[in-house]
Amino acid sequence: MTRRPMRRVLVANRGEIALRIMRACRDEGLETVAVYSDADAQAPFVRAADQSVRIGPPAPAESYLRIDALIAAAQATGADAVHPGYGFLSERAAFAQAVTDAGLIFIGPPASAIVAMGDKTSARRLMAAAGVPIVPGSTKALTDPDEAAKVATKIGYPVLVKAAAGGGGKGMRIVRTPAELPGALTTASSEALKSFGDGSVYLEKYIELPRHVEIQILADQVRTIHVGERECSIQRRHQKLVEEAPSVAVSAELRERMGAAAVAAGVAVGYRGAGTCEFLLAASGEFYFLEMNTRIQVEHPVTEEVYGVDLVREQLRIASGLPMSIPEGPLVPRGWAIECRITSEDPANGLLPSAGVIQWLRAPAGPGIRWESGVESGSEGTLYYDSMLAKLIAHAPDRARAIAVMQRALQELMVVGVATNVPFHRKLLADPDFQRGDIDIQFLERRPDLMAASDDDAAIERIAIAAALLAEDQRISRRVSAPAGAANAGASASAWTQLARRDGLR
Ligand code: MV4
């Protein structure tokens, strides 16, 4: 390693993950550069950086997705490395390559590893050759319906038609009988062409009611290791809402087998840094490789909490040519961690993103709580980016206590000004099926009751707003110390406090 030292990192992202990366940089003595669109000029992550560069208007295509503008910003600020975060350009091989070609360090895997995992049929061939279990099906794109019918008969119905260029569930079709197959091939292919510019499709056996379990890996120049699993079955329309580590469905023995498969997957593509192998875990206990995410993931904190590792710090070390700081030998999960994604999705409006100003935010705190957010009181929500406001992570000695800690934190949490999915999280955490860990990827589809807005939510929200206004009023009264105003505020405070207590609001 004759590489010059890494000193200054440009963070090619926004929001909570930009802040998370900058905090890790600070811990390591690295300087930081933020890039921002006009929508983010006042955002906390911009203020947190040592330097910042405006890259364009709010639309991602004109700002966070502009490879040329990002590389120009890195060069103008003297950055020597680029961290892509998640989303945006994080899994574009062309970006990794452009960063490297500009003489900068890409804090992520080699572009070749991104390419190898990008095409699903070639990834399936590579994985099968590396001994990683894949779902039975074809390992080549299918163009001939007769050939597809033969494959389907061989693996048995139901089957799933998938896009070769896909991921995230676009262009998928479940086929339960031979008669439906030709139509499904046609519609899946045209959807794939529209979404990915590539109409290639292939077949897999459809796995009924699996769990979504993923394995975190880390690879430096010498070692590739796994850092256990995350259970990610609580999702809606391919958007994860709650993740946990470990999984109730994974024994120490299964963890080692899934971990070994994920490590083999990483080794097969020459992986470096932090990556994740997604698996379907069937009710039978069999597991199958789905795809590999070649980036840091939203839900990385649950792994960090139970394994006591800082995954972003390890990314920085590995990118700068240092070995990972994790001692050799088996890693053991300590306790249980759960993450709730707090989004500005309005349950009273079909869970559509709600924009507006966060007039008031009270973040939870206390033992076992971690709050990862890119917003604060006064932040303005935009509809240009994803609707996640924050991640709330609870860590405790066991799952039941992690749920209790999360419930306490969800009681403390208050967001005024934009509707959020906090009422959903409160209902989910109190649900007996969830508490038993009795979940699979279709759990939320079966439970519209958890997703629906209730009158209770509305009442709690109104009281919260009243309490927030009152708190503000009290602050003003204290500042001006008007005797009459102060007396009034005192009297109504006790009435509101009583009402809030009665409604379990505190
Ligand atoms: C599957 C499957 C069942 N059987 N493959 C969805 C997105 C993509 N990553 C793969 N996906 C699935 N592939 C077979 N053979 C079910 C899903 C699936 C899913 C997987 C993980 C998390 C959430 C999901 C929601 C619906 C379907």
Ligand 1 centroid vs 169 CA: distance in angstroms? 7
- The string of pLDDT tens digits covering residues 360-396 is 999 999 999 999 999 999 999 889 999 999 999 999 9
230 and 287 part of one domain: yes
User: Nearest-CA neighbor of 281 among 302, 259, 258, 298?
Assistant: 258
Would 1 be classed as within a structural domain? no
Is residue 445 located within the same domain as residue 493? no
Query: In this predicted model, what pLDDT tens digit does every residue of 271-281 receive, in sequence order?
Result: 999 999 999 99
Q: Indicate which residue's Cα is closest to atom 14 of ligand 1.
A: 206
Spatial contact of 305 and 397, defined as CB atoms under 8 Å apart: no
Q: What pLDDT sits at residue 424?
A: 95
pLDDT band of 185, cuts 50, 70, 90 = very high
Q: Residue 101 belongs to what domain range?
A: 8-107
Q: Tell me, in angstroms, the distance from the centre of ligand 1 to residue 65's CA.
A: 27
Residue 235 near ligand 1, beta carbon < 6 Å: yes
The residue with greater pLDDT, 349 or 433, is 433
Q: What is the pLDDT of residues 55-101, one digit of tens each?
A: 999 999 999 999 999 999 999 999 999 999 999 999 999 999 999 99
- Residue 484's pLDDT is what? 46
Q: Looking at 255-259, 261-265, 325-329, 478-482, which range is the least confident one?
A: 478-482
**Residue 100, Cβ density class (10 Å: 0-12 exposed, 13-18 middle, ≥19 buried):** middle
The pLDDT confidence band at residue 293, using thresholds 50, 70 and 90, is: very high
295 in active site: yes
Residue 101 shares a structural domain with residue 120: no
Q: Which of 124, 173, 295, 399 is catalytic?
A: 295
Judge if the beta carbon of residue 397 lies within 6 A of ligand 1.
Answer: no
Secondary element (H or E) of residue 433: helix 432-436
The rounded Å distance from CA 386 to ligand 1 centre is 21
| Ligand 1 center–CA 415 separation, angstroms | 33
Residue 224, CA distances (Å) to 22, 81, 219, 220 in order: 25, 22, 4, 7
Same domain, 259 and 119: yes
Q: 446 in a domain, yes or no?
A: yes
* Domain final position from 453, 473, 488: 453
Mean pLDDT of 421-434: 97
Residues 103 and 126 placed together within one structural domain of the fold: no
Average pLDDT, stretch 239-243? 97
pLDDT band at 3 (very low <50, low <70, confident <90, very high): low
Q: Is the pLDDT confidence value at 2 over 70?
A: no
Give the whole-angstrom CA distance, residue 239 versus residue 232. 10
Number of C-beta neighbours around residue 103 at 10 A = 10
pLDDT at 224 over 90: yes
List the CATH number of the domain containing 355. Answer: 3.30.470.20
126 and 145 share a domain? no
231 in contact with ligand 1, CB cutoff 6 A: no
Per residue in 460-482, pLDDT tens? 777 767 776 787 778 777 655 44
Per-residue pLDDT at 497:
55
Task: Among 170, 213, 280, 440, say which to mutate for ligand 1: greatest number of ligand atoms within 8 Å of CB.
Answer: 280
Any ligand 1 atom below 6 A from CB of 169? yes
**CA 236 to ligand 1 center in whole angstroms:** 12
Number of domains the chain is built from? 5
